[in-house]
């Protein structure tokens, strides 16, 4: 795997620990899950629970919702294991399920907002971001605050750009891996990343003066 992008230390460990051998083990687990083996399913859960909850959390921005989504993701994995073909890596397939369910969740939430009477917010398809403590540019910055600002900016991007940036920045994935998850060409991923970073620059501009 190739890391040219900023990734947290913990993520780095998690990523680099995925060896070829573990990919083979993943395939074996899926084969057992196809026969209804609950222990194999639990092992897959232990292996991927952190990855799934963090992908969901960064997309929906709420811990409780991320936990509920993690449950939905693993139930979907169990149900659709039958249809898993070995053309993609198990991790790619799991990323895809986690992202799709998170985006569906945000869409449903958007429509609920749309039909609710007390709706005064300008809700879009992105996360609520209750993890961002301050909207104010005149805030005392520290590293975590800065990262929250970046995450907020990322969450305001259109879904395709948002997913590409998230997977690159927080999961340390290459364009090839992102393309496999998004089921598009590498060129399309690169184009999304270009558009995303030009948009992000505009969104981060108000905060730069304060640093």
Which residues make up the interface to other proteins (CB under 8 A)? 4-11, 36-42, 45, 49-50, 53-54, 57-58, 63, 66-67, 70-71, 74-75, 78, 131, 143-144, 146-151, 168-170, 190, 193-194, 197-198, 200-201, 204, 207-209, 211
C-beta of 73 vs 106, nearer to other proteins? 73
C-beta of 188 vs 200, nearer to other proteins? 200
Closest separation between CB of residue 55 and other proteins, Å? 10
C-beta of 27 vs 78, nearer to other proteins? 78
C-beta of 32 vs 113, nearer to other proteins? 32
Closest separation between CB of residue 145 and other proteins, Å? 9
C-beta of 79 vs 87, nearer to other proteins? 79
Question: Which is it for the CA torsion 126, 127, 131, 132, positive or negative?
Answer: positive
């Amino acid at each position: 795997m190739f890391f040219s992008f900023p990734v947290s230390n913990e993520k780095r460990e998690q990523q680099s620990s995925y060896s070829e051998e573990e990919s083979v083990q993943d395939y074996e687990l899926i084969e057992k899950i196809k026969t209804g083996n609950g222990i194999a399913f639990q092992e897959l859960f232990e292996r991927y629970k952190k990855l799934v909850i963090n992908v969901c959390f960064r997309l929906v921005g709420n811990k409780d919702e991320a936990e509920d989504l993690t449950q939905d993701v693993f139930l979907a994995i169990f149900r659709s294991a039958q249809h898993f073909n070995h053309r993609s890596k198990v991790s790619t397939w799991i990323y895809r399920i986690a992202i799709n369910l998170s985006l569906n969740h945000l869409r449903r939430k958007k429509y609920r907002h749309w039909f609710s009477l007390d709706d005064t917010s300008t809700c879009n398809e992105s996360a609520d971001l209750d993890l961002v403590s301050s909207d104010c540019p005149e805030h005392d910055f520290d590293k975590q605050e800065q990262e929250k600002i970046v995450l907020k900016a990322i969450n305001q991007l259109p879904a395709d750009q948002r997913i590409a940036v998230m997977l690159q920045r927080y999961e340390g994935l290459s364009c090839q891996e992102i393309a496999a998850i998004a089921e598009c060409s590498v060129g399309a991923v690169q184009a999304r990343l270009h558009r995303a970073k030009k948009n992000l620059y505009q969104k981060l501009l108000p905060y730069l003066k304060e640093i």
